[in-house]
Amino acid sequence: MMEKNRSVLIIYTGGTIGMVNDPVSGTLVPIDFRHISDQVPELRRFGFSLETVTFDPVIDSSEVVPDTWVRIARTIEENYERFDGFVVLHGTDTMAYSASALSFMLQGLEKPVIFTGAQLPIGVLRTDGKENLITSIEIAAERVDGLPVVPEVCIYFENKLLRGNRTIKYSAEHFNAFVSPNLPPLAEAGLQIRYNRNIIRYPTVRRPLVVSPRFETGVAVLRLFPGIMREVIHSVLETPGVRGLVLETYGTGNAPTAGWFLGELRSFINRGGIVLNVTQCQAGSVEMGLYETSAGLISAGLISGRDITIEAAVTKMMILLGSGLPAEKLSALLARPLCGEMS
C-alpha cells in the first residue's frame, strides 16, 4: 500500500528568517509565507503537502511571553490530525525558551515539532534560512514504517537537530547559534541526515495529545557572584508573587555557606517557595553534597536541577507552578526528568 503524501504545517511566529527586502522602502519586511516556494523554490521538489499559518502580527522573539507558547501549542493541537509534522519558524533570541516550554506543554506528543530560524533573513543572498527551513521540513516529514523518526520538540540549526529542552543559544553572530551541552545531537545533516535513534525519545504508551496551557510567571532567576549583597538576595526572595527561584550556583552546585545566605533560602522555602539549584556552567551537572559548600543547600531544602538548562528550568517551573499541584508533588516532578530535559 502506497504511503499517503506527507504533510507539514509551517507556523511562522516571526523572526529574522521570514524577512525580505521591500523594493519600495528598502527595509526588511515579513514575507507572505503562503508563497514561500517563491523564495525557496527547492521546496517544490519535495512533493510534500505544505501549508502555512502566520501570526498576525508577527512577534519579535524578544517580545515572546507564555501566551505566545499557548498560541503555538493550540495551533499544533488544532491541526494535529491533519499533518505528519510541524515546523515552527521563530526568532533565535528566545527560541530555546519556546522549544523548552512546548516540550512540557505538548503531553502525549507523537509527531515532530521542529523549531528553526535564521541569523540572516531568507531574502538575503547568504542566508542560512533556506537550508534550515528545507532540512527542518524534511525531518518533520521523515517516517520509517509509517511512524515519525523524531516525535519530539526539537531545534534544527546549522546541520544539527537538538532536543529543544536541552538547547541554549550561545552565539549571536555565527550560523551555528545553538548548542546542546549535555546531550549529543538527535541528528546531523551532511550528505545524508543521520539520526541518533538510541537517544531519540519514542512514546511507550500511546495517548492523545493534551496541551497544558497554564503558566505561573512568579519565577525569578538569581545568578550568584562573589560579593553578592544580602539585600539583593533578600529583595528577590521577598518580591511579591515570586513562588519559585532558579538559583544559578557555581560548578557542581556550590554556594556560600554564610548563615545569612542559607537563612534567606530557608525562610523563602518555609513560606512555600521552591528553589531549583542549577549550575552556571554550560556543561556538567549539579551534584549537591559533593563538596561541603553545597551540603548546606541540601539541608535548606533546595532541589537539584542536575544538568538542566536555564531555559528548561524556567519553563518547567512555570508550568508546574501553574498546574495547581501540592508543593510535595511539584517538588518531586521538578527533581526528575519529564520529557528528556535532564539526565
Question: Which sequence positions are flagged as catalytic?
Answer: 16
- Angle between the 230-237 and 259-270 helix axes, to the nearest 10 degrees? 0
- The set of cell numbers assigned to 97 is 525558551
- 93 near 67, Cβ under 8 Å? no
Alpha-carbon span 58 to 250, nearest angstrom: 38
Q: Alpha-carbon torsion 194, 172, 91, 73, what sign?
A: positive
CA torsion, points 91, 97, 102, 103, in degrees to nearest 10? 130
296 close to 263: Cβ distance less than 8 angstroms = no
Residue type at position 184: P
H or E stretch covering 312: helix 310-321
For 244, list phi and psi in degrees, rounded to 5.
Answer: -135, 145
Distance from the first to the final alpha carbon of the chain? 40
CA quadruple 203, 75, 80, 343: dihedral, nearest 10 = -10
Residues 6+ apart with CB under 8 A from 46: 137, 138, 141
Closest CA to 302 of 312, 283, 313, 311: 313
